[in-house]
Amino acid sequence: MLQLLRIPGLAACALVLASLPPARSDVRDVSTVLAPIRAKNDVPGLAAAVVRGGELVALGADGVRKRGSEVRITAQDRFHMGSCTKSMTATMLATLVEEGKLRWSTTVGEVFGPLVATMRPAWKDVTLEQLVTHRAGAPAGLDAGGLWGRLWKREGTPREQRMTLVRGVLEREPEAPPGTKFIYSNAGFAIAGAMAETVTNKAWEELMEERVFTPLAMKSAGFGAPGTAGKLDEPLGHGANGEAVDVGPGADNPPAIGPAGTVHLTLADWAKYVAFHLEGDRCTDGKHPCPETSGALKGLKPATFAKLHAPAPGEGATYAMGWGIAERDWAHGRVLTHNGSNTMWFCVTWIAPERDFAVLVATNQGGDAAAKACDETASALIREMKDDDGKR
């Protein structure tokens, strides 16, 4: 079985990626690989995709949109990404860094000093880089002072809700001295997203659409639980107990932590994003071309990809900007990986640059069974692709 890299804290050629075909005629249907794994682990739905050489080469889905219903999941359905959103936020931030609107060394004090009068002094020198590598001292949870309860009330616009989070965190001491300890923190990414909002005067959601989704033609991407309330037009999330959660306020975390984990999209669109990072990582060796795209992502430098994928120094998890970094034999070396869950969905991706390969898996249920189903699916597809390697 695939050895998962658990992220603590949560239950070939240059290609114009904007024109990546969503369903080439030779994309392999892997639904039959998923079916027995889904049934064995008793999750309502399961979907997966494989990327190679910057292209979608396999895609499949099995199961139902809602447990007990007969409405089948399709490969075109949208899945919630949970914390796989984090690297997307870091990618958006990288475009602002390349344009000089932010620096990785920009501090919390520089951006929020005039806005948060109650900020504790220890926060003032915390950098953007520390926030997106979980080494800022930002808390693992947001219960202190009743902040999480206030955020669930969803008062104000998403930007205003994020500023409520920023003030609520910065008025308390960091959980650890900044730069000294790895603490997996949704709050850290939310603060980083709010920094981008403050310097651009645009909401994080708008920045993501403008700077990541549109350049990569990720037309299905959105925020919160997918689908329409009262309809079964997309899969519903399910808790670990298998019960479906209807679309509404209880179907996802509040927008305040959006930059940490509220994106949804189809597997084909997620594959475009993962392919972008796969090709971007390969171009850092100076031998392979960087991915070609448009808009804010156009011409993203090899040094920027290297920065995004470089683990932060220090003890604790080997973690870059939204990516866990590890070594795996099947990958012939280094991998980039992350999983995501809002407790009602689960997903995971593995990128193997040396093999020019990536696998993505998602299910519309949270909990251990969901994690196991995604793990087993990724393992099965990795084995199949390894067999394909041997036939070349």
How high is the pLDDT of residue 315? 87
How high is the pLDDT of residue 13? 24
* Residue indicated by tokens 């990569």: 216
Tell me the β-bridge partners of 58.
Answer: 28, 50
81 vs 69: CA distance, rounded Å: 23
Quick one: how many helices (H) and strands (E) in the chain?
12, 12
How high is the pLDDT of residue 389? 60
Handedness of CA 245, 185, 297, 306 (dihedral sign): negative
pTM for the structure as a whole:
0.93
| DSSP H/E element including 170 | helix 158-170
* Residue indicated by tokens 């080997």: 318
pLDDT beneath 70, residues of the chain = 1-25, 386-392
- Whole-angstrom Cα Rg for the chain: 20
Which candidate, 389, 332, 345, 327, places its Cα nearest to that of 224? 345
Which candidate, 82, 21, 62, places its Cα nearest to that of 260? 82
